[in-house]
Structure 1
Amino acid sequence: MTLDLDALQTRHFDALENRYAEVLAAQGYDRLLIYSGRPARHFGDDQDASFQGYGHFQHWTGQAELTHSWLLVHPGRRPVCYLHAPDDFWHLPAQLPDEAWTERLEVTPGHYDEAPPSVAGGRLAVIGDVSAATSAALGAELNPPALLTALDEGRVRKSEYEIACLSEANRMAIFGHRAAREAFLAGGSELDIHLAYLQASRQRESVLPYGNIVGIGSHAAVLHYQHYDTQAPRERYSLLVDAGHRYRGYCADITRTWAGAEADPLFADLIARMHDIKQRLIAAVAPGVGFVELHERMHRLLGELLVVSELVSGSAEAAVESGITRAFCPHGLGHLLGVQVHDVAGRTACNGIPLPPPVEHPALRLTRELEAGMVVTIEPGFYFIPLLLAPLRQGTAGHEVNWPLVERLAPHGGIRIEDNVRITAQGAENLTPRIE
């Protein structure tokens, strides 16, 4: 069935207008000005860093690359987009896409290095990367915390339009992952694999939702490995690719791990078992399930994996309680996903203030109960990280670990399997197509 994106986007826009009107009225604001943001200039240079627009600006427009632009939300009136599009022969001036939402706006192109001059009157809030001087000149309140919290909460449950965009981002990312696997099996370097991903997913590097992670062998043990070797390694034990796609502002975030020609047979078996763990965790997803509880279930499953693979003696329960599983997987099970890869409002809040994650799970980005409409990543991991294994080896739990087997598998780096999952009233819908 072909989706009518225009109709879905129109309903999404209707819901945004209603939501913002309710939030502004509840907090006593007449109007809201949202700034897309400005690129950061490298110190002592005339070049800018890569840019990504402010999330709340993208929530309305889906435009991640529009700089210096503003959106004025005045309930009861058409939103106004102050589009930064100065006359320029060095760069192509910005244009809005041919999408349904643009018909709902009053578009005022111009030069907006500073805020638009015609937004005064009534109680005004301005949000985004705006200076105090600019907000003072506008007579506006800058980034009011209670307002930001309320607007963040409005992004937690996705509209049908947003689900369609996230699904398309996943579909396009899969082309990249398949090409990455083929490039690896053909003997390519990390850079070759990265370039194959970009070509197949039809993206330039500057528009990726995040920097692709492409790690061969031991590099897969670096969770956010940030380099691309230009030479292929002599031994091809494994490949980990964590890479996504952005469609109309919405992000896919997918990870796969593959065994190479020189892989230990046990490592290939571990990959298959990690796929099974991911599927079991997705099957447990449902409204009302606490994500902390789901994260702890991942650790119990990792404990079982360590025992059945003879990497750890004793029981799976002991492997969790002693901290062994955390040494093999230090990151959280997943996070909210939307116009930001790590989307907002993932932490349980008290009186509007996000609470820190549990002490024993400091890297957990999502601590809330799951609700229908959320989109989350489910990404169990299993790694051989020297920095974490060294203290484990020296501690009291170290005698439970099969260190010769760990050393045999360490050149493979690690495993991460990640899908993007929509929470439904009945349970879960996996938005990530099969790659294998």
Structure 2
Amino acid sequence: MDKLANLYPAHITQLQQTTKTVLKRENLEGLVIHSGQEIKAFLDDNSYPFKVNPHFKYWLPLTEITNSWLVVNGEDKPTIIYYQPVDFWHKVTPLDESYWGKHFTIKILKKATEVDQLLPYDKKGYAYIGEHIEVARALGFDNINPEPLVSYIHYHRAYKTSYEHECMRQSNKLAVTAHKAAKTAFFKGETEYDIQQAYLTAIGFTTNDTPYGNIVALNKNCSILHYTALERTPPQSHQSFLIDAGANFNGYASDITRTYAYKDNKFAELIKRMDQLMLSAVAGLKPGLSYVDLHIQTYLEIGKVLKEFDLINVDAELAAESGIISTFFPHGLGHHLGLQTHDVGGFMADERGTHVNAPEAHPFLRTSRVIEANQVFTIEPGLYFIDSLLADLKSSSNADQVNWQNVEELRDFGGIRIEDNIIVHQSHNENMTRDLELN
């Protein structure tokens, strides 16, 4: 906590400077950032799990408070309008100022409907930032999520402060602890559901506390990229295990994937080879280089792995040209990471938000931006045996480029994905995940 307290003032200073610059450029007086409010399920009085506005948690580590507001102008001490109702139905999150409190003027809001009494009276010069458009209009805001302003903030969110780096180190620490518990559960022969419970219990999380729904897959289920079914019964035998799961710390996400073989076999050898490939891709994260180029280079390297393991009978260059590598690696190399798992700003060429498309041959790549210092990325190459994609390839004119018998031998293992979280520094890369001895 002392380290966070020491780093936090510089974080606030940076956010103030960013805000001041964009407000001047857009001729505005300030921002009013809404934490959000509960959203009711259709025809029900129960709410969906609350997810705080990322613009709100950018400023302070409060992720559970609804109906709260930030008023910032880049110069004056920011004001937080903190919702503290009298409520005997629900637990009210108490005001815990911690290390952030002295940086804000705090105003207590007892009734959400009375917030206008604490907001700026004349809202013409203020922009509302949040998802509840009807609330903003009812309060009299004309500037609602103005695109040039939001694009500017999103572009700069890709450059993480030292405070943010530390939060993400802590998020990785939590996730690595849980990953180790999940690995132990797999080798004990547990079900997908029980492995998930082991993961959550290890760090005291519920399913609502993770940054995304954990992917906990056994055997053939490892081929489903966003598998979240969590089977309650064990398979006839444990062959493979893929877990893609993260944690949150002060609103910052980690996103880690590992794949394991139950026995020492050919699939285990393939995992080791993909791990080497992943670390090579991490080494390629360098300031000034293109993330797109790194993806394409890694795509070619996966072609070489397919050739090494006699899964294809052509060289990697020809496999890339024909596109058959995409059958085995159908997603992008990785993405920006931060306040959100797939953090914003990945396709922006500049502060105006000029969009740079992913290459047509690699449509699922999640960032096209140039790599720069202080950015944080995931690197997550994969190699899968996906029935629908294999069927398409088998019926195509490129079917003869595949050694189908060898593919068939590995099909029931599902697939492999290995993912680490990386801070790009000017002089080196910091692999937050490996530094915590998760191999």
Same fold (TM over 0.5): yes
Task: Give CA-to-partner distance per residue, 1:224-281, whole Å, 9 cap, x none.
Answer: 10111111111111000000010111111000000014x7x11101100010001101
Q: What is the 5 A alignment of 1:338-377?
A: 338-349=338-349, 352-377=353-378
Paired residue type of 1:253: D
Paired residue type of 1:353: T
Q: What is the 5 A alignment of 1:245-256?
A: 245-256=247-258
Task: Give CA-to-partner distance per residue, 1:275-331, whole Å, 9 cap, x none.
Answer: 000110111111011000000011111000000000000211111111111110111
Task: Give CA-to-partner distance per residue, 1:192-238, whole Å, 9 cap, x none.
Answer: 00000001122122111111100001111110101111111111110
Alpha-carbon distance between aligned partners in 2 of 1:354 and 1:332, rounded to the nearest angstrom: 17
Q: Following TM superposition, by how much is the alpha carbon of 1:82 offset from its aligned partner in structure 2, in angstroms?
A: 1.3
Q: Following TM superposition, by how much is the alpha carbon of 1:355 offset from its aligned partner in structure 2, in angstroms?
A: 3.1
> Cα distance 1:114–1:325, how it changes in 2: closer, same or farther (>3 A)?
farther
- Report if the CA contact (8 A) 2:22-2:149 is conserved: yes
2:45 maps to 46
1:420 maps to 421
1:407 maps to 408
2:269 maps to 269
1:73 maps to 72
- Report if the CA contact (8 A) 1:135-1:141 is conserved: no
- Kindly indicate whether residue 8 of structure 2 is the aligned counterpart of residue 9 of structure 1: yes
SS in structure 1 of the partner of residue 45 of structure 2: coil
Alpha-carbon distance between aligned partners in 2 of 1:39 and 1:301, rounded to the nearest angstrom: 46
SS in structure 2 of the partner of residue 60 of structure 1: coil
Alpha-carbon distance between aligned partners in 2 of 1:39 and 1:355, rounded to the nearest angstrom: 34
> Cα distance 1:35–1:44, how it changes in 2: closer, same or farther (>3 A)?
same
> Cα distance 1:76–1:173, how it changes in 2: closer, same or farther (>3 A)?
same
Alpha-carbon distance between aligned partners in 2 of 1:97 and 1:162, rounded to the nearest angstrom: 20
Paired residue type of 1:180: A
* Stretch deviating more after TM superposition (105-114 or 383-392): 105-114
SS in structure 2 of the partner of residue 301 of structure 1: helix
Q: Following TM superposition, by how much is the alpha carbon of 1:132 offset from its aligned partner in structure 2, in angstroms?
A: 4.3
Structure 1 outlier segments of 4+, above 6 Å: none
Alpha-carbon distance between aligned partners in 1 of 2:158 and 2:114, rounded to the nearest angstrom: 31
Select which of 125, 128, 138 maps to 2:127.
125
**What runs of 5+ residues in structure 1 fail to find an aligned partner?**
none
Task: Give CA-to-partner distance per residue, 1:48-68, whole Å, 9 cap, x none.
Answer: 112211111110012222222
Q: Following TM superposition, by how much is the alpha carbon of 1:139 offset from its aligned partner in structure 2, in angstroms?
A: 3.6
SS in structure 1 of the partner of residue 255 of structure 2: strand
1:170 maps to 172
Alpha-carbon distance between aligned partners in 1 of 2:425 and 2:74, rounded to the nearest angstrom: 31
1:35 maps to 34
* Stretch deviating more after TM superposition (54-63 or 99-108): 99-108
What TM-score, normalized by structure 1, do the two folds share? Answer: 0.96
1:301 maps to 301
- Kindly indicate whether residue 438 of structure 2 is the aligned counterpart of residue 435 of structure 1: yes
Identity of aligned residues (%): 36
SS in structure 2 of the partner of residue 71 of structure 1: strand
Q: Following TM superposition, by how much is the alpha carbon of 1:3 offset from its aligned partner in structure 2, in angstroms?
A: 6.2
Q: Following TM superposition, by how much is the alpha carbon of 1:126 offset from its aligned partner in structure 2, in angstroms?
A: 0.5
Paired residue type of 2:301: L
Q: What is the 5 A alignment of 1:5-404?
A: 5-110=4-109, 111-112=111-112, 115-117=115-117, 118-121=119-122, 123-132=125-134, 134-135=136-137, 137-261=139-263, 265-349=265-349, 352-404=353-405
Alpha-carbon distance between aligned partners in 1 of 2:267 and 2:113, rounded to the nearest angstrom: 54
- Report if the CA contact (8 A) 1:242-1:253 is conserved: yes
Alpha-carbon distance between aligned partners in 1 of 2:313 and 2:15, rounded to the nearest angstrom: 54
Q: Following TM superposition, by how much is the alpha carbon of 1:400 offset from its aligned partner in structure 2, in angstroms?
A: 1.2
Alpha-carbon distance between aligned partners in 2 of 1:3 and 1:310, rounded to the nearest angstrom: 53
> Cα distance 1:337–1:178, how it changes in 2: closer, same or farther (>3 A)?
same
**What runs of 5+ residues in structure 2 fail to find an aligned partner?**
none
- Report if the CA contact (8 A) 1:10-1:100 is conserved: no
Alpha-carbon distance between aligned partners in 2 of 1:36 and 1:418, rounded to the nearest angstrom: 31
> Cα distance 1:113–1:270, how it changes in 2: closer, same or farther (>3 A)?
farther
Paired residue type of 1:435: L
